[in-house]
Homo-oligomer: A and B are copies of this chain.
């Protein structure tokens, strides 16, 4: 497996473009288009939030057809809580692309990210779309990635490449989102492209698993948005033998897709505005994986742990309190707690002042690990989290909708 340059247009047969159509203030790019030379299987994973944006409703319906060819995404407006107008605007986005490329509307997937509750200025998308189409090109991936940003401070792209089933397969991708930090600027969006030939059920299964182990393992503030979407489109142009679920080639593809998703997820997490720390949480020895995940999640989303990270306060008691309220099976006297390999709590008690001084030094690092061994079983889980800073409060308190 090799990480490579570029993003959504890195695999064979994809072109992309981005431009400013007028939803954001100029000169912010706010409309992105990705086109595959050929239609192919598409997989998707969406927000579990029941208040759902119109584009998510549209994409869910189109996913039933299992075939995709075009992605059209705007930033600056989330098109959610916008009633029938919002649904009509979403359907017009689909029609614009379907008509232009002479393809079935179900092969068009759309996305929106930005302010909740504001009507989508569809007339600006309609006016800008022809100019966007003529900009489509092999090198347009970065421009498209830029056009889906809201408060992101960096463009987020990824590409990985590996020989699978007799051919070199590339997976490319782009994402936006400052963690879940801005669900009002709604959303984590990630789009992946691949030239692999793969059966749709296999692609869906691989994507679901990759998302569970990447995007679902980062937490900035525990809020999930109304628009979260991950899509992966596979056009089969690499020339490999079609990958079926369960095969050796499938497992290799799974790993490749997970690497791409994990790389994008970490970029999203690190780009959380106000973030000064990037912390990995490793839970082992839980009764089962679900318990391990509960514990990791409770630590990752605890405001008290996150402010301690920001303050570089080696307050391990807050981590223990989070472990205790996670709802997992526990025997407190069996738990061990360490930070990047330095133990601080074992057999029901703290390890004293010398250990605390060593842990205090770990807390001054930009990146470190919180390691919880529950001491009961073999369940394990990993998550990534960030600190909670003044800057987080400033951004979220001063943002005007």
- Identify the A interface with B (CB < 8 A): 48-52, 78, 80-86, 115-118, 183-184, 186, 221-226, 302-304, 307-308, 310-311, 313-318, 320-325, 330, 332, 335, 345, 347-350, 388-390, 392-394, 396-401
Contacts and interface: CB of A to CB of B under 8 A. Distances in A.
A304 B51 contact: no
Given A393-B393, A396-B303, A401-B313, A81 B345 contact: yes
- From A83, A317, A388, A400, residue with most partner B Cβ within 10 Å: A317
A399 B313 contact: yes
B304 A223 contact: yes
A316 B393 CA distance: 17
A399 B49 contact: no
Contacts of A51: 320-321, 323-325, 330, 332, 335
13 contacts: A50-B330, A51-B323, A81-B350, A85-B349, A86-B349, A117-B349, A118-B350, A183-B304, A186-B321, A221-B303, A311-B396, A311-B398, A314-B401
Copies of this protein in the complex: 2
Contact of A401 (B183, B225, B303, B315): B315
A332 B52 contact: yes
Contacts of A325: 48-51, 223-224
Contacts of A330: 50-51
A184 B317 contact: yes
Contact of A396 (B82, B221, B307, B397): B307
A396 B304 contact: yes
Contacts of A85: 349
Given A81-B350, A388-B393, A116 B50 contact: no
Contacts of A316: 117
Contacts of A320: 51, 81, 116-117, 226
A200 B313 CA distance: 44
A115 B356 CA distance: 14
Contacts of A332: 50-52, 81
B50 A324 contact: yes
A116 to B, nearest CB: 3
A275 to B, nearest CB: 13
B117 A313 contact: no
A267 B285 CA distance: 41
Given A303-B223, A397-B307, A81 B317 contact: yes
A184 B304 contact: yes
B221 A304 contact: yes
Nearest to A348: B83
A75 to B, nearest CB: 16
Given A49-B321, A311-B399, A390 B390 contact: yes
B397 A348 contact: no
Contacts of A401: 313-315, 317
A396 to B, nearest CB: 4
B82 A350 contact: yes
Contacts of A323: 50-51
Given A307-B393, A316-B117, A400-B313, A324 B82 contact: no
B310 A393 contact: yes
Nearest to A396: B307
Contact of A117 (B184, B350, B394): B350
The 9 closest A-B pairs by CB, nearest first: A116-B317, A311-B397, A51-B324, A83-B349, A307-B396, A117-B350, A49-B324, A221-B303, A50-B324
A321 B392 CA distance: 18
